[in-house]
Chains A and B, each alone.
Chain A
Amino acid sequence: MKNTPSIRGVPLTPPPSHLSTTIAWGVLFVLLIWSWEGADMRPLDLIKYSGNMSIFIKEFFPPNFHDWRIYLEEMVVTVHIAVWGTVLAIICAIPCGLLSSENLVPAWVYQPMRRVMDACRAINEMVFAMLFIVAVGLGPFAGVMALWVHTTGVLAKLFAEAVEAIDPRPMEGVRATGANAVEEILYGVIPQVLPLWISYSLYRFESNVRSASVLGIVGAGGIGVILHEVIRGFDYAETAAVLIIIIVCVTLLDLISARIRQWAI
């Protein structure tokens, strides 16, 4: 290092890159090659079968809105499923999230609670929906249950992360007046995390509307049922109409929820 030009000991040339950085790039490269095989990547087919595809796409147009009333009714049911799935999840995620926060509870509480929430989150809504259909029968209620369990897992983790990032002083301040643990949380924690919790909940509602629109494919009610029928029946003009209704509806809800989030924070 003697001959490197420097200012007050700080060299003017950047330090050589670490061996670990080089290895990380190498691992990424190997992973990409390996996954190419597994994922059966055939980009040339896109060009080879482009003729077929254009014929296929033409069948979607013009979209057939003949049964739009039914589509819209089912879309509303889809939103209803998302509303109840999300609300039940929020109610459960508040205690579960607080009990998964390492700054509030000891390790023997938050570790098991986190593992349970991991399990809820690890399994997709569609899988839960299929299981609940066996338990409560075909229809929207199975969809609500599926969203409820999965979303509880997601929100509990997000809620806990918000709690772990709070300023501890308000809690200590409340404790210093002789308050008990519940009051510490109510007066010291909740006011700090509420804006984030609202934002996360709304975001999960948006994504639950998207999830609910496919839950019907496995028989859990909503517009997914119709989507499944029209695709299976090769009715691509109707399929286009259903997709457009889903897109418009999801976009509208996203816009509204973004507005509410802005207002809440």
Chain B
Amino acid sequence: MSIVTHQLGLEHGNGFRALHGLNLKLTAGERVAIIGPSGAGKTSLIRLLGSALRPTNGRLELLGENPWQQSAAGLRQLRTRIGTIHQAPPIPPRLRVITAILAGRLGRWPAWKGLLSLLYPVDIAGAQQALARLDLADRLFERCDRLSGGQLQRVGIARVLYQQPDLILADEPVSALDPILADAAIAQIVAEAEQRGATVLASLHAVDLALKWFPRVIGLRSGQLAFDLPAAEVSTDMLRDLYSSEGSIVPTQANDPALLHALTEPLPEITDPKVVRLDSCRGRG
């Protein structure tokens, strides 16, 4: 799914400008990471692009059309093609894992199927397959409130994999996972997107993860674009500058944030992303 924004901005009711003057262009099948300090507007941007939030300034075009000028049915239709992964998956605690995953396709199912699925899951094999890709297949019939934070986050990812959207938006999708699992989960999202030509836009806390998996990196600071470059061209100075409000400490996968000036080695190079098998990290997260 292609995305174009013109001077896109979001102003909250209290006058706080979460985002302003954003000009972005994403072609179908592109993979883009958003990085930036806390409060930079990463979540706001993702909510705007997912047409969950209406921009207060500027224009947004998804597939060449403004989602907010479409009919209610048209907007619903568009949303079925957008899958959003949240940092804290918005799943009611008492729902079973399988029901939560199957809810990913609610928009595409006829109403009777959605109703039936609440009583008896209609596509057990499909949900199991999505969950197996995140090494959680054994939790298929567990209630969501019995899962750990990391497991719940992976259920949220599985839901979007099951939805098969044309645009995958991810807001800190692996924040509750340990480095190995996080890497494997991102690999699954990337593999899914490559297989179906879907666009991926992910905000990431860990800069090394962003540079490893995403050919293009957007730096966001105080609601404005700091840089928008191929990952290979993102320099250490740029990152230090981006995180200047957090003491120029560039957050990475490791829990102890590496002080940038203490880095002797250059930042990790972009290696050819290959899919990591999750079977090897059973029991993590």
A interface vs B, CB < 8 Å? 167, 169-170, 172-180, 182-183, 186-188, 191-192, 194-195
In the complex, chain B residues whose CB is within 8 Å of the CB of A176? 50, 52, 79, 82, 84
- Max count, chain B CB within 10 A of own CB: residue among A169, A176, A182, A191: A176
CB-nearest residue of chain B to A184 = B106
Q: Is the CB of A195 within 8 A of B111?
A: no
CB distance from A109 to the nearest CB of B (A): 17
Q: Is the CB of A172 within 8 A of B83?
A: no
CB distance from B201 to the nearest CB of A (A): 14
A179/B86 contact (C-beta < 8 A), A173-B91, A186-B115, A195-B94 known: no
Tell me the bound Cα distance from A139 to B214 in angstroms.
Answer: 75
A194/B108 contact (C-beta < 8 A), A186-B118, A187-B114 known: no
* Partner of A182 from B76, B99, B103, B111 at Cβ < 8 Å: B111
B95 contacts partner chain A, Cβ-Cβ < 8 Å: yes
CB-nearest residue of chain A to B51 = A176
Q: Is the CB of A180 within 8 A of B90?
A: no
In the complex, chain A residues whose CB is within 8 Å of the CB of B89? 173
Tell me the bound Cα distance from A176 to B99 in angstroms.
Answer: 16
In the complex, chain B residues whose CB is within 8 Å of the CB of A169? 86, 88, 90
Q: Is the CB of A177 within 8 A of B111?
A: no
B37 contacts partner chain A, Cβ-Cβ < 8 Å: no
A sample of 13 cross-chain residue pairs with beta-carbon separation below 8 angstroms, ordered by A number, consists of A170-B90, A172-B90, A173-B86, A176-B52, A176-B82, A177-B105, A178-B77, A179-B76, A179-B103, A186-B118, A187-B114, A191-B92, A192-B94
**Which B97-122 residues sit within 8 Å CB-CB of chain A?**
99, 103-108, 111, 114-115, 118
B253 contacts partner chain A, Cβ-Cβ < 8 Å: no
**Which B132-166 residues sit within 8 Å CB-CB of chain A?**
163
In the complex, chain A residues whose CB is within 8 Å of the CB of B105? 177
Q: Is the CB of A177 within 8 A of B103?
A: yes
Q: Is the CB of B94 within 8 A of A172?
A: no
CB-nearest residue of chain A to B53 = A172
Tell me the bound Cα distance from A169 to B115 in angstroms.
Answer: 20
Tell me the bound Cα distance from A150 to B95 in angstroms.
Answer: 32
CB-nearest residue of chain A to B163 = A177
Tell me the bound Cα distance from A178 to B74 in angstroms.
Answer: 10
| Closest A-B pairs by Cβ, 3 of them | A178-B107, A178-B80, A173-B90
B78 contacts partner chain A, Cβ-Cβ < 8 Å: yes
Q: Is the CB of B84 within 8 A of A179?
A: no
Q: Is the CB of A183 within 8 A of B84?
A: no
**Which B42-79 residues sit within 8 Å CB-CB of chain A?**
50, 52, 76-79
**Which B215-243 residues sit within 8 Å CB-CB of chain A?**
none
* Partner of B106 from A167, A187, A191 at Cβ < 8 Å: A187
* Partner of B80 from A167, A177, A195 at Cβ < 8 Å: A177
* Partner of A170 from B92, B104, B111 at Cβ < 8 Å: B92
Give the size category of B's interface with A: 20 to 34
A194/B78 contact (C-beta < 8 A), A179-B107, A187-B103 known: no
In the complex, chain A residues whose CB is within 8 Å of the CB of B115? 186
CB-nearest residue of chain A to B102 = A187
CB distance from A193 to the nearest CB of B (A): 9
CB-nearest residue of chain A to B107 = A178
A177/B83 contact (C-beta < 8 A), A169-B90, A183-B111 known: yes
Q: Is the CB of B76 within 8 A of A194?
A: no
In the complex, chain A residues whose CB is within 8 Å of the CB of B163? 177
CB distance from B179 to the nearest CB of A (A): 27
Tell me the bound Cα distance from A97 to B108 in angstroms.
Answer: 28
- Max count, chain B CB within 10 A of own CB: residue among A167, A175, A176, A177: A177
In the complex, chain B residues whose CB is within 8 Å of the CB of A178? 76-82, 106-108
In the complex, chain B residues whose CB is within 8 Å of the CB of A187? 92, 95, 99, 103, 106, 114, 118
Tell me the bound Cα distance from A175 to B78 in angstroms.
Answer: 11
* Partner of B52 from A167, A172, A180 at Cβ < 8 Å: A172
CB distance from A175 to the nearest CB of B (A): 7
In the complex, chain B residues whose CB is within 8 Å of the CB of A167? 90, 92
CB-nearest residue of chain B to A179 = B106
Tell me the bound Cα distance from A180 to B77 in angstroms.
Answer: 10
Q: Is the CB of B92 within 8 A of A192?
A: yes
CB distance from A258 to the nearest CB of B (A): 20
CB distance from A149 to the nearest CB of B (A): 28
Contact with A along B247-282 (1 / 0, CB 8 A): 000000000000000000000000000000000000
In the complex, chain A residues whose CB is within 8 Å of the CB of B99? 187
Tell me the bound Cα distance from A213 to B146 in angstroms.
Answer: 42
Q: Is the CB of A180 within 8 A of B79?
A: no
Give 11 A-B pairs besides A176-B50, A180-B111, A187-B114 with Cβ atoms closer than 8 angstroms: A169-B90, A170-B90, A172-B52, A173-B86, A175-B52, A176-B82, A177-B79, A182-B111, A187-B118, A192-B94, A195-B94
